[in-house]
Amino acid sequence: MRKVKVGIIGCGNISGTYLKSAKRFDSLEVVACADIDIEKAQKKAEEYNVPKACTVEELLADEEIEIVVNLTVPKAHAEVCLQALNAGKHIYVEKPLAITREEGKKILELARKKGLRVGAAPDTFLGGGIQTCRKLIDDGWIGKPVAATAFMMNHGHESWHPNPEFYYDVGGGPLFDMGPYYLTTLINLIGPVKRVTGSARITFPERTITSKPKYGKKVQVNTPTHVAGVIDFENGAIATMITSFDVWGAKLPHMEIYGSEGSIIVPNPNEFGGPVYVRRADDKDWREVSLTHGYIDNCRGLGVADMANAILTDRPHRANGEMAYHVLDIMQGLLEASAKEKHYYVTSTCQKPDPLPCIANWN
């Protein structure tokens, strides 16, 4: 099988994980990386043996590149995606797909017009932990899903991230930063969403960076940092979700799925592995389930590998633009429901992505 050549735009904090993971997939070959700060691109190219560090324009003009991986900040996602699509490249973008529905629609419409693919993070739902949960549900271990809980609770990124400002701007916050992991996992396990409602607030209007190199810098908060939502799925299940950058500590579970015949404790949707626990109606206690799938370490870029394999074998890819747009629509809906004090009826939908086979090999 030939290699699909990849170019990465955006050489910030997350790019190293993608560059490292790409080496494990024989179907992928990263041939160039670019950044508006050319020195960043040069450092990443040297560190991960990428053949070329270049400008964004040079990368998009490279005819051998088939997939552009867009790792820019959220505000730039749509602009870079549209540039790549106009250059004739398939696009895979970090979460969220875009920061407005209008931008998201433009990306999908242009891709359809040009016959190109849109892929989007997160791809953690392809990891062994969540794929094991998917198999348990598909095999009927807990009956029909009737409810779920999902909690992402911490105090934000200013204590550790070198450039945390964008987390507190429009397109950031706990919902747009971490919500895609939780919502994508819920869609993968339960299905698409029909309506949402919620409450959102900015608890601390100003944050102080305590990480280096920007220690002491003040950041104005321009997006909600505590969002509580109720999510109604098309199949009738109801989920309660909280995402917050405003709490110092919590002992809530990451995610649980409750079915008519039992329950599942789902592992952290921001990670690829387990553990997974199940308790059926006739069980006296929880029991840990052995993982049925591989890819349990940090292999961000798994979605890019699946997309490359899908291009080569002419099948749908799993971490796709339609699901990413549905997640964007849900997140916007939660914020709008809070602002307007009413339910938002989700106008988009998507298909549950196909589960992975128990032994997946895209090499």
Render pLDDT for 266-306 as a digit per residue (tens, 0 to 9).
Answer: 999 999 999 999 999 999 999 999 999 999 999 999 999 99
Per-residue pLDDT band at 359 (split at 50, 70, 90): low
With a pLDDT cut of 70, the percent of the chain lying above it is 99
What's the CATH number where 109 sits? 3.40.50.720
Same domain (yes/no): 158, 270: yes
Side-by-side strand order, sheet with 344-345: 287-289, 276-280, 262-266, 255-259, 145-153, 238-244, 226-233, 193-201, 344-345
Question: Quick check: is 315 in a domain?
Answer: no
Mean of pLDDT values over 112-141: 98
Per-residue pLDDT band at 1 (split at 50, 70, 90): confident
For residue 77, the enclosing domain spans: 4-120
pTM value surpassing 0.75:
yes
Question: Quick check: is 144 in a domain?
Answer: yes
Write down the pLDDT at residue 362. 45
Question: Quick check: is 306 in a domain?
Answer: no
Per-residue pLDDT band at 360 (split at 50, 70, 90): low
Query: Tens digits of per-residue pLDDT, 129-144?
Result: 999 999 999 999 999 9
Question: Quick check: is 154 in a domain?
Answer: yes
Same domain (yes/no): 60, 160: no
Question: Is residue 147 helix, strand or coil?
Answer: strand
Write down the pLDDT at residue 306. 96
Same domain (yes/no): 33, 180: no
Last residue in a domain, options 87, 120, 153: 120
Same domain (yes/no): 112, 139: no
Q: What is the dihedral of CA 121, 182, 195, 307, to 10 degrees?
A: 30
Last residue in a domain, options 120, 147, 168: 120
Same domain (yes/no): 148, 267: yes
Tell me how many domains the chain contains. Answer: 2
Same domain (yes/no): 141, 271: yes
Same domain (yes/no): 261, 161: yes
Per-residue pLDDT band at 363 (split at 50, 70, 90): very low
Angle at CA 20, nearest 5°, toward 15 and 24?
Answer: 135
pLDDT exceeds cutoff 70 at 48: yes
Same domain (yes/no): 110, 154: no
With a pLDDT cut of 90, the percent of the chain lying above it is 97
pLDDT exceeds cutoff 60 at 340: yes
Last residue in a domain, options 120, 148, 172: 120
Same domain (yes/no): 77, 172: no
The pLDDT mean for the chain works out to 96
Same domain (yes/no): 62, 80: yes
